[in-house]
Copies of this chain bind each other. A is one copy, B any other.
Amino acid sequence: MIKVIILGAGNVAIHLAKAFQKTKSVEVIQRYNKSTRNSSEFDPSIPFTKDLQELVKADVYIISITDDAIAGFSKRLKFKHGIVVHTSGSIPLEALQCKAAKGVFYPLQTFSKEKKIDFMEVPVCVESELNKNMIILEDLAKAVSRKVYRINSLQREKLHVAAVFASNFSNHMYKIAGDICESNKISFDILKPLILETAKKIQTIEPVIAQTGPARRDDRQTIQKHLSELEGIQKEIYTLVTQSITETYSDGKKL
């Protein structure tokens, strides 16, 4: 049985606690937060403290707080036993300034309080300062997820940039599409099945193969027509992304 303490009460902490509680090999023996925020989201049977001095002995301490606060918070953890991990995609392992052994336990998914997540399908990226601790972190990850990856800090940094494109930027493309619909009294609902199918497609087909549309076909007439209908930053984005797609399929030479 791996004994875990969760520090923080945000979305990741909430989902992690729920996932651990479903397992037989992990026990959440305590949780800490500086306030009682989101307390109702956690199982009341988990002992709660607002005082770091009251932390009991555990195998893994999971810091799940905002990125900027991780380094400063970790400094306040004076104990030397166990492993202290954070759950951030963009903070290197070395940012942890605790006395205990360090690690990273990064579940790569977009979490919201309202939406249930099948944690078993959430990729968990683990990293360990000490080789001997890797097995514990992997066991911890495998208890809640079928998808466990060893990712070092440099790779995780790159992965985070990739995730910005894959998730944040694609969501912004949906947002612009929604704005165009709204300006023309078209229901955004019409686009929802297309958006879902586009994301489903790349689960089995590489994005470079799945690409369709005027830029892919180098259909300059349609591209020109679209550009004449856009303005401002929407037009700039259309131009730049079209250029990027066109370059992809012309072996890098500019048209």
**Contacting pair B175 A173 (CB below 8 A):** no
A103 CB, min distance to chain B CBs, angstroms? 18
Chain B contacts for A191, CB-based, 8 A: 108, 159, 162-163, 166-167
Q: How far is the CA of A237 from the CA of B48 in the complex (A)?
A: 45
Chain B contacts for A16, CB-based, 8 A: none
The yes or no answer to A49 lying at the interface (CB within 8 A) is no
**Contacting pair A213 B164 (CB below 8 A):** yes
**Contacting pair B164 A226 (CB below 8 A):** yes
Q: How far is the CA of A165 from the CA of B115 in the complex (A)?
A: 25
**Contacting pair A155 B186 (CB below 8 A):** yes
8 Å CB contacts to B: which residues of A190-220? 190-203, 205-208, 210-216, 219
Could you give, for residues 134-162 of chain A, a 1 whenever the CB lies within 8 Å of some chain B CB and a 0 otherwise? Answer: 00000000000001010100110111111
Given contacts A161-B238, A162-B191, A167-B195, 15 further A-B contacts (CB under 8 A): A90-B222, A90-B225, A158-B183, A165-B174, A165-B176, A166-B198, A168-B245, A169-B238, A170-B198, A171-B198, A171-B212, A174-B202, A177-B207, A199-B200, A234-B244
